[in-house]
Amino acid sequence: MNKDKYTPIELSIFSFLLMNSFTSTILIKEFHNMNTVSIILSIICAFLIGFIFLKIYINSFNKFNININKNGLFTFVLKIFLIICSIIILLYSTFNLSLIIKDIILPNMNQKIISITFLCICYILAIKGIKSITIASNLMFMVYIVVVLITFFFNLFNINPINLLPIKFNLENISFYKILILTISPLFMLLIIPKEDINNFQKYKKYLYISYTLFYSYLLVKILFIVSILGIKYFSLVAYPEIDVLKMINIFNFFERLEEILIINTFIQNLITSSLSLNYIYNLSKSSLKSNKWMIRIINAIILLLIIKIDVLSDNLLVITATIFIILNTFISLKKT
């Protein structure tokens, strides 16, 4: 077996973390002021409709790579758009993580310094290639699972099922568009991997469906778990409900104030997404311009400038970008090879 080939299991774990990219920061706000039934229905709707996009994603493997490597002005323009979209995804991922770190761990630190430091780590990982990002994601997934289990078990006694009441059916509150778009869009960056580099693609397909189902089950349990602990009104009031749940962890009255360590899950999600988007940008720029060294330098400078200049980012811009990103990927894949 070739060492550089991707195994189905490692790619599906990678996909799971990619789908989780924006759940702790942007996606969780979508559930504000929703009741239990609306939360369940929104996630189920997003899950079912997401299957269509997942099908498109699986069918796009190889077609995307063949079409993107073609010469021509149209492909060049498409590539530029894809690069802009992935820069915006990278910016959001970096910006949101640095904001959380500033708010929770380092209140006196300049947010831009946190962003740049984080970007340096992403850059080191990105230039190592997708294979390295995949291995890193798989290793970090173990830590991710441990943190999730600690959070779950040591918060079991804080659950108050009454917070999930009243059970009222209200169709007006259902919103699944953002959930669907923000979970599926980072996955499309994996299309840059050639199909032949994946060991047993059929098996990957199967594992991806399992990973996708597990992700939505996890999302549903996670949101209901947080709501049952905090109550829907407190959940809607606080900026980071997930961290408020972590604050409540008290292991045998001995281990307290663990939120600053357990926040690592948000770090993992954003690190994986940012590194992949950076790698995606480099790969696309390499294939579009021959003098790629300068191109990469210019892109790095643009990203750095944007991170220094941007103070506020509207969540809607990410949703629009993610939608455009999915449409462009689908369009490229549907083109005749």
Contact footprint for other proteins (CB under 8 A): 103, 106-110, 113, 116-117, 120-121, 123-124, 127, 162-163, 165-168, 230-234, 237-238, 244, 247-248, 257
Question: Shortest gap between Cβ of 263 and other proteins (angstroms)?
Answer: 14
Instruction: Please give the DSSP secondary-structure letter assigned to residue 62.
Output: T
Q: How far is CA 118 from CA 41, 67, 131, in A?
A: 36, 33, 20
Q: Which is nearer to other proteins, 198 or 271 (CB)?
A: 271
CA distance linking residue 156 with residue 145, whole number of Å: 16
Report angle CA 287, 296, 188 to the nearest 5 degrees: 55
Nearer to other proteins, 48 or 113 (CB): 113
- Report, in Å, the least distance between residue 107 CB and other proteins: 5
**Shortest Cβ 77–other proteins spacing (Å):** 31
Task: Give CA separation, 96 vs 42, 148, 244, 270, 281, in Å.
Answer: 24, 20, 17, 8, 20
Q: Minimal distance in Å, beta carbon 162 to other proteins?
A: 6
Q: Which is nearer to other proteins, 72 or 107 (CB)?
A: 107
Give dist(CA 34, CA 173) in Å, integer.
Answer: 6
Residue 94's closest CA among 293, 308, 245, 321? 308
Q: Which among 125, 131, 64, 59 has a CA at the least distance from the CA of 93?
A: 125
- Minimum CB–partner distance for residue 234 and other proteins (Å): 5
Task: Report the candidate in 336, 264, 218 with the shortest Cα–Cα distance to residue 101.
Answer: 264
Largest CA distance in the chain: 65
C-beta closer to other proteins: residue 34 or 179:
34
Q: Which one, 132 or 199, has the nearer CB to other proteins? A: 132
The residue among 231 and 320 lying less far from other proteins, judged by its C-beta, is 231
Q: Which is nearer to other proteins, 109 or 146 (CB)?
A: 109
CB of 284 closer than 8 Å to CB of 79 = yes
Q: How far is the CB of 116 from other proteins (least distance, A)?
A: 7
Q: Under 8 Å CB-to-CB from 130, ≥6 apart: which residues?
A: 190, 192, 193, 276, 279
Closest distance between other proteins and the C-beta of residue 121, in Å?
6
